[in-house]
A and B are shown apart, each in its own frame.
Chain A
């Protein structure tokens, strides 16, 4: 069945370091891909999305490119801030009424 695999955390970085959180997927058809972010004590909120191959989603300095050939949607940011500390979820939608979420990757950014 359809699934999402994210790199395990936690990921700990110093402020201004580069971030990559890996996400790969298994899906039939042509899924839409999402990254959601969960700040401490809050619900998830959409960070970015891509709906077809080679699309790049971007928001708040984060980027992710939909790579069909490698079935990946890695999240990247060139310079992280303390305020980026959160849990990041990769997700996919292939049709029907269901979105499948990965296990989440916790990011800690130190000042």
Chain B
């Protein structure tokens, strides 16, 4: 089954404790992206990747890191989480970097930073 998986689905952590949210897709997609969803703000892009070893900042990259060492994986790293990073996070992938293509979303990771 074609899908985007994220882990963990739920995470409660404390300020400053480094964490990684994993994202994996099995569709051989070139393009992958991370979004955060906050009430009233919709989805805002954090980082995206056009292909292996090629990443770039989205609209809200501060406090986040990413890497793309393999085509299928695109982990999101919070080196020193803060309470303002409490949010619902989605990973997405699509066949091409061109936005005309459908994006496939993972189920989301709800992160709480206390």
Chain A residues at the B interface, C-beta cutoff of 8 Å: 4, 32, 41-46, 49, 51, 89, 93-99, 101-104
- Whether A43 touches B99, Cβ cut-off 8 Å, given contacts A97-B31, A103-B40, is no
Pair B100/A32 contact, Cβ less than 8 Å:
yes
- Whether A97 touches B40, Cβ cut-off 8 Å, given contacts A42-B107, A43-B90, A43-B105, is no
Name the contact of B97 in the complex, choosing from A32, A41, A97, A103 (C-beta under 8 A): A97
Binary contact readout B19-63 vs A (1 if CB under 8 angstroms, 0 otherwise): 000000000000100010000111111001010000010110000
Q: Which of A42, A98, A99, A102 has the most CB of B within 10 A?
A: A99
- Whether A104 touches B45, Cβ cut-off 8 Å, given contacts A97-B97, A97-B99, is no
Across the two chains, which residue of chain B brings its CB closest to A4?
Answer: B42
Chain B residues at the A interface, C-beta cutoff of 8 Å: 4, 31, 35, 40-45, 48, 50, 56, 58-59, 90, 92, 97-100, 102-108
Across the two chains, which residue of chain B brings its CB closest to A43?
Answer: B105
Across the two chains, which residue of chain A brings its CB closest to B4?
Answer: A43
Describe A's contact surface by its main secondary structure: loop
Across the two chains, which residue of chain A brings its CB closest to B41?
Answer: A103
Across the two chains, which residue of chain B brings its CB closest to A91?
Answer: B43
Pair A104/B42 contact, Cβ less than 8 Å:
yes
Residues of B within 8 A of A32 (CB): 99-100
Across the two chains, which residue of chain B brings its CB closest to A98?
Answer: B45
Pair A99/B102 contact, Cβ less than 8 Å:
no
- Whether A98 touches B41, Cβ cut-off 8 Å, given contacts A43-B106, A43-B107, A43-B108, is no
A41 to B90 alpha-carbon distance, docked (Å): 12
Instruction: State how many angstroms separate the Cβ of B37 from the closest Cβ of chain A.
Output: 8
Name the contact of B99 in the complex, choosing from A4, A44, A99, A102 (C-beta under 8 A): A99
Q: Which of B59, B97, B103, B104 has the most CB of A within 10 A?
A: B103
Given contacts A41-B107, A93-B99, A99-B45, 20 further A-B contacts (CB under 8 A): A42-B108, A43-B4, A43-B90, A43-B92, A43-B106, A43-B107, A44-B43, A44-B90, A45-B104, A49-B102, A89-B42, A93-B98, A97-B50, A97-B56, A98-B48, A99-B103, A101-B43, A103-B41, A103-B42, A104-B42
